[in-house]
Amino acid sequence: MAPRRTGPAAAWRRGARVSAASAARRRWAPRRLSGPALLAGLGALLLLTLLWAAGQGAYSLPLRALPGVLSGSTDASSGAGLVFFHIRLPRLVLGLVAGAGLGMAGALMQGLFRNPLADPGLIGVSSGAALAAGLTIVVGSLWFPDLPRALGSWTLVLMAFGGGLAVTVLIYLLSRGEGGTRVGLMLLAGIAVNALAGAGLGLLSFLATDEQLRNLQFWLLGSLGGARWSAVALVGSVTLIAGGAGLGLARALNALALGEAQAVLLGVPVERVKRIAIVVTALAVGAVTATTGIIGFIGLVAPHMVRLLGGPDHRWVLPGSALLGAVLVLLADAVARTLMQPAELPLGVLTAAVGVPFFLLLLRGAHGRRL
């Protein structure tokens, strides 16, 4: 083996090769969009996705028939009118608000943890909602016999929502220290509590009857099939409130990207920002998960793709993630209800099966290195 050359000339040649490789990567890297252009493009993409998804399903609605249905020239009591207004439209709106909530929550968590691989599930809201839903389905009639009579069809939704919030509060309290909330400790607490919730779900699956097990698995896999206007109103109002609060954190998250010490020097109330970000994420993801079940991966991939397209400024990342999250959920739902007609694929399975390989390829292409 030849000895490695040293000296000024060899160092200059190595530096030249590195500079040439860096220049080549910059030359082939996609040009980032400005913030307004990014939001305009994502808004147009969302509109096209809505139009396309409106016609997909076991009952196909041709695109040319949609203007008549929307304008009222087509009889609302006809087959097309009934399908669109009572089944397809609430499903589309629920997918839009659910995707927006998950995408924005993912952007908040990635900004808070200062890690593009962070996910809303790190704070336990999804696992807490799943555990509460499992308790309601398997032992709810024994432990809470009066709840179904009092809450009716809202029993599962409200229990899952409350469970998600309760687990998030627990993780937040466990991450508190003398110097405030520690993000690293929150991550470790989230991993531990998520594992405990998974063990609880495993025990409930073991104790459940066949019917209860089917209901639990159907809920855990996620679906927009149970969309109704009351659920749309719940998720939409919570997502709207959470989105407004989340957008107010954009500048603070930009400062946090420099580190907590630097953010404090810039006048950012770091602890208050952490609390608001956690509450906003818990509300948005809890409402979505309680209504649709677990839809994974949207909160991870949407913010990362937006940053690749438009840069790391949270003034554009937060609304862009909401728009792209809505696009991804609507696309996945349209494919889920058409791929194996008349059956419907679980939405959470589809988002993970398609999203994970795509995300890995996206990371490898963006960073020019093996994962």
Looking at residue 103, its pLDDT comes to 95
Residue 100, C-beta contacts closer than 8 angstroms, at least 6 positions apart: 239, 243, 322, 323, 325, 326
**CA nearest 102: which of 275, 257, 352, 282?**
282
Highest mean pLDDT among 121-130, 154-163, 176-185, 319-328: 319-328
For residues 98 and 262, what is the distance between their CA atoms, to the nearest angstrom? 34
Tell me the mean pLDDT in the region 59-69.
72
Separation between Cα atoms, residue 53 and residue 370, nearest integer Å: 35
* DSSP annotation string for 54-112: HT-SSS---GGGHHHHHHT-S-TTSHHHHHIIIIIHHHHHHHHHHHHHHHHHHHHHHHH
> What are residue 176's DSSP bridge partners?
181
User: At how many degrees (to 10) do helices 89-113 and 229-247 cross?
Assistant: 30
Q: What is the mean pLDDT of residues 172-189?
A: 82
Residue 254: which region, alpha, beta or left (left: phi > 0; alpha: psi -120 to 50)?
A: alpha
By percentage, how much of the chain surpasses pLDDT 90? 40
Q: pLDDT tens-digit profile of 121-133?
A: 888 899 999 999 9
The token pair at 107 is 């952007």
d(CA 86, CA 35): 36
Residue 185 CA to chain centroid, in angstroms? 23
CATH class of 83-367: mainly alpha
Give the C-alpha separation, 303 to 290, whole Å.
22
Q: Mean per-residue pLDDT for 163-169?
A: 92
Q: Can you give the pLDDT at residue 91? A: 92
Q: What is the pLDDT of residues 10-45, one digit of tens each?
A: 544 555 454 544 444 444 445 788 888 999 999 999
The DSSP string of 219-243 is HHH--STT--HHHHHHHHHHHHHHH
Look up residue 296 and give its two tokens: 């994974």
More confident residue, 75 or 79: 79
pLDDT of 368 above 80: no
Indicate the pTM of the whole model: 0.85
